[in-house]
Amino acid sequence: AKQGIQDKVIIITGASSGLGEATAHRLAKAGAKLVLGARREDRLQALRDAIVDQGGEAIYRVADVTDRDQVEALAQAAKEAYGRIDVLVNNAGLMPLSPLDQLKVDEWEQMVDVNIKGVLYGLASVLPTMREQHAGHIINLSSVAGHVVFPSAAVYCATKYAVKALSEGIRQEGGEEIRSTNISPGAVSTELTQTISDAETAKGVNELYEMAIDADAIARAIVYAIEQPADVDVNELIIRPTKQP
Ligand code: NDP
């Protein structure tokens, strides 16, 4: 297996903003070959251009993680461009929090589709290749919300608990070949809170997020997990703002 980050082929979903974008910048500086996916093509293009301008290597492909074919095509693009897939960062996600009584069932379904099914499609798109290579690394973005349940966050927390369970399952079944890292950020300043449609919930969350840390803090954690030697598997990282209760 390849060691470190240099020349590793790394797919990032939801790379068009926030943690995905910050992680792409960090990994590009460390010499990775990046394959960037998300829905907003203008953002992906700008990110690719910025990375290439700074001497990094990256391609992008529009990929909605709720569409299995598009996720498969993203993985295929990685293999066509670079011949292998070393790491998948399952990062795409959304957080439209609301009290259950509001029955925002469409938003519940969206969270299940993106935060859980998207992660499963990502896994399915890389697992056979990683088995062929006898090496691979899957990094899933769970959350502190995958460890504790917050008010108005039951469904979001349910999706992030699911992600944590998947990370552990991947760790167990990955055996000696596939590393599994579950990343659990606390409050991080990104566009994530903009997905909250309930005004009162948004107000509370925005107050909490006044202490939010920069997305680069999570990018550094992801770099740490990837750069470990192949026989070291960083399974779980929780990264909170020091101020977060
Ligand atoms: P952002 O909203 O800034 O980024 C989310 C990314 O996901 C965007 O690039 C968006 O791109 C992408 N995305 C959303 N829906 C889809 C879709 N259907 N298909 C493909 N991509 C999609 O939020 P963050 O960077 O904060 O979130 C990244 C991950 O980190 C999420 O899984 C989130 O739950 C998790 N997390 C974040 C925390 C925080 O405080 N920020 C805390 C704990 C966990 P586009 O719209 O272009 O498709």
Relative orientation angle of helices 215-227 and 18-29, to the nearest 10 degrees: 50
**Residues of the chain under the 50 pLDDT cut:** none
Atom of ligand 1 nearest to the CA of 64: 19
Atom of ligand 1 nearest to the CA of 65: 19
The 10s digit of each residue's pLDDT in 5-46 is 999 999 999 999 999 999 999 999 999 999 999 999 999 999
The 10s digit of each residue's pLDDT in 52-67 is 999 999 999 999 999 9
pLDDT at 1: 64
User: How many angstroms separate the CA atoms of 53 and 49, rounded?
Assistant: 6
Domains for the chain: give ranges and CATH numbers.
9-239 (3.40.50.720)
Any catalytic annotation for residue 121? no
Q: What is the 3-state secondary structure (H, E, C) of 108-146?
A: HHHHHHHHHHHHHHHHHHHHHHHHHHCCEEEEEECCHHH
Best of 13, 109, 121, 190 for a ligand 1 pocket test (most atoms within 8 Å of beta carbon)? 190
How many other CB atoms are found less than 10 A from the CB of residue 218? 26
The reply to whether ligand 1 has any atom less than 6 angstroms from the CB of 91 is yes
User: How many angstroms separate the CA atoms of 203 and 107, rounded?
Assistant: 18
User: How many angstroms separate the CA atoms of 161 and 149, rounded?
Assistant: 9
Check 60, 156, 161, 209 and give the catalytic one: 156
Kindly list the strands in the beta sheet with 57-62, ordered across the sheet, starting from the edge strand earlier in the chain. 57-62, 33-38, 9-12, 87-90, 136-141, 178-185, 236-239
pLDDT at 128: 98
CA-nearest of 119, 108, 112, 117 to 197 is: 108
Find how far residue 191's CA is from the centre of its chain.
14
User: How many angstroms separate the CA atoms of 65 and 231, rounded?
Assistant: 30
The reply to whether ligand 1 has any atom less than 6 angstroms from the CB of 51 is no
Q: What is the dihedral angle through the alpha carbons of 191, 193, 197, 203, rounded to the nearest 10 degrees?
A: -130
